[in-house]
Amino acid sequence: MSTPNSYSGPYLAEIAHLMGDPARANMLHALMDGRALTAKELAWLAGVAPQTASGHLAKLMQGGLLAVAAQGRHRYYRLAGPEVAQALEGLMVLANREGSGRRLPSRVGAELSFARTCYDHFAGKLGIAIHDALMAGGHLAVSEGGYALTASGKAIFVALGVDPDQSGRSRRAALRPCLDWSERRPHLAGHLAAALACRCFEMGWTRRRKDSRAVTLTGEGRSVLEAALPGFRCDAPEPAVTPSRREPAPAPA
């Protein structure tokens, strides 16, 4: 009764509080590539014991941030939906602003900002290159709550092996812009973008890096995209020596 204007403040605080713990934030960050991970993997990634991780995961579940799929004796956790990933991206934009003083370490930052998965689609320089090439070519049109493909845009998706008319859940836009936290420019999200990313992994045009959201564009992938997408241009990533960081677990003191 003492806080007349705090309509959603408490709810907002509840969600933010869930994300505000380092261990939980690490887990959420790791899940932002859209994959589903087991509790043990998440525990290791977060740097805590499995018991602790279990508690965190239960809290995240109760808060509606995660979904779980039980499979045998494993439980695979994933983000509850694209809104969660989008909210996290919004926070990443803040966390990586120049003003805040904290930036990604340059090596790692270069890999991640070249190409990575953002929930289920491409982000980074690669995602933006795709977005820009489609836009510059007039293959995108404004639509209900996002983008729609023009006829020429649909032809491009067909050429890449993605059915542009597969209407997933009709509520969500097939294509929409998503602000990129590393480049501060939009890339393509939505289930068509996800289908395109999926196709790229299937065909070996892109590959996931181990233990990272970073993505590698293969030589074949570059050729395919340049052929199908007039104007597509994406600077090569530096070869980036594999850091071979492979400490299995923090040695218990």
Site for a second copy in 225-244 (CB under 8 A): none
Per-residue contact flags (x/-) with a second copy for residues 181 to 220, judged by CB under 8 A? ----xx------------------------xx--------
Query: Which among 48-56, 146-154, 168-176, 181-189 is the span making contact with DNA, rule CB under 7 A?
Result: 48-56
52 part of the interface to DNA, by CB under 7 A = yes
* The one among 106, 144, 169, 170 contacting a second copy by CB under 8 A: 144
Nearer to DNA, 235 or 247 (CB): 247
Rg (CA), the chain: 19
Residue 42 CB contacts under 8 Å (≥ 6 apart), including other chains: 27, 30, 31, 53, 57, 77
229 part of the interface to DNA, by CB under 7 A = no
Amino acid residing at 123 = A
107 part of the interface to DNA, by CB under 7 A = no
C-alpha distances in angstroms, 187 versus 14, 19, 56, 147? 29, 24, 31, 11
Cα-based angle 11, 14, 18 (whole degrees, multiple of 5): 150
90 part of the interface to DNA, by CB under 7 A = no
* DSSP-assigned states of every residue in 183-202: TSSEEEESHHHHHHHHHHHH
* The one among 25, 54, 173, 222 contacting DNA by CB under 7 A: 54
Nearer to DNA, 56 or 191 (CB): 56
48 part of the interface to DNA, by CB under 7 A = yes
- Is residue 206 helix, strand or coil? strand
What DSSP character marks residue 45? H
Nearer to a second copy, 4 or 219 (CB): 4
* The one among 36, 110, 135, 240 contacting a second copy by CB under 8 A: 135
